[in-house]
Amino acid sequence: MIRIAIKIVIILTIYSCRSDTSNKTDNTEKIHIYSARFIADEERIFDEFEKKTGIKVLLNYDKGERLIQKIISEGEACKADILICQDAGQLMNAANTNLLERVETEIIDEHVPLNCRHEDRKWFGLCKRAKVLLYNKEVVNSTMLNGYLDLSSSKWEGKINISSSSEISNQSLLSSIIANYGDKKAEAWSRGIGKNLSGNSGGTDLEQIERVFSGRGNVAIVSINTIGQFINNHPEKLNKTGIFFPDQTTTGTHINFVGAGLLSESKNKNNAIKLLEYLTSEETQRYLSEKHFEYPVHPNVELPEYIQSKGSFNSDALDFNLLYSNKSKAREILNVSGW
């Protein structure tokens, strides 16, 4: 009986050791990403990374703020290694609440310029998006357009298309208006947009553009990357599509970042950094830019021909901390603006 008991103990010990080793190996071969960016064909990027490195990427999608709350509530039990958000304000929130860890790597420093990353290297831009005005050239002349604030004037009544005020990109736009012009002008602008809508706000940026070309409104306030998608779907509309960069003689056109950061609770930090290096690489940046008409952050990646044809523009050099700190005020204004 003693011999049998000893054998059982030995077998259980061997099994336990194998189980622990298996878990450790499994841990280093997988990266968990909490991502607020969902584009169906973009998983191809992570498939390519797995082919090159043998590291599997597991994705968990949700809105940025919900993912941040999920990370906070999970604490040390959080499985995620990387957070991807579609808003610089959310990334600043994650950095300021110590959810993200400083990453120092010469490769990322070469890939991402200083003005496209967190000052303490806690997040890195993957691409930039400009908030522009799209108009139908057959209905609107570019000389009729000015800046964001002008869109709230009565001359645009019933002619403006924009997605819901609950969209994070619109909240960031209003946050930038608060920072640049103050609360009162921001509130007046928001109320004016609410009055000037061509119909109920809602739907995607792509749907706002569709409305412009179906006669419901003359101008859409959208992210420029969406316009590229629209042209791909409707090449016959190319010559009728006008793009205007607001506030070129004042604050500059509002931009926002899709960005990523390493989570402080990451269990696979070395592999996670490898993925961050890959996401900011010339290869991946070129794919994002060409496929999704987004502005690359990598200095060596040329803009797609369509975006190049729209020329350069002055962008708002606002401190991204202000997008984060003004977000609650922006929501407060939007709740009473009728938009």
167 with 210, same domain: the answer is: yes
CA 262/CA 125 separation, integer angstroms? 12
- What is the number of domains present in the chain? 2
Statement: residue 297 has pLDDT above 50: yes
185 with 215, same domain: the answer is: yes
- ∠ at Cα 97 (320, 266), nearest 5°? 110
CA 116/CA 99 separation, integer angstroms? 19
- ∠ at Cα 103 (101, 105), nearest 5°? 170
Structural domain for 87, as ranges: 29-127+256-304
119 with 134, same domain: the answer is: no
pLDDT on residue 229: 86
99 with 197, same domain: the answer is: no
pLDDT on residue 205: 94
pTM equals 0.85
289 with 278, same domain: the answer is: yes
Is residue 18 in a domain? no
Any idea what the CATH number is for the domain that residue 227 is in? Answer: 3.40.190.10
Q: What is the pLDDT of residues 163-174, one digit of tens each?
A: 999 899 999 999
175 with 235, same domain: the answer is: yes
CA 258/CA 112 separation, integer angstroms? 13
Which secondary structure element, helix H or strand E, spans residue 308, and what is its range?
helix 305-308
Least confident stretch, 66-75, 101-110, 184-193, 286-295: 286-295
Query: Using CA atoms in the order 21, 25, 26, 28, what is the torsion angle rounded to 10 degrees?
Result: 140
274 with 192, same domain: the answer is: no
Cβ atoms of 55 and 49 closer than 8 Å: yes
β partners of residue 59: 33
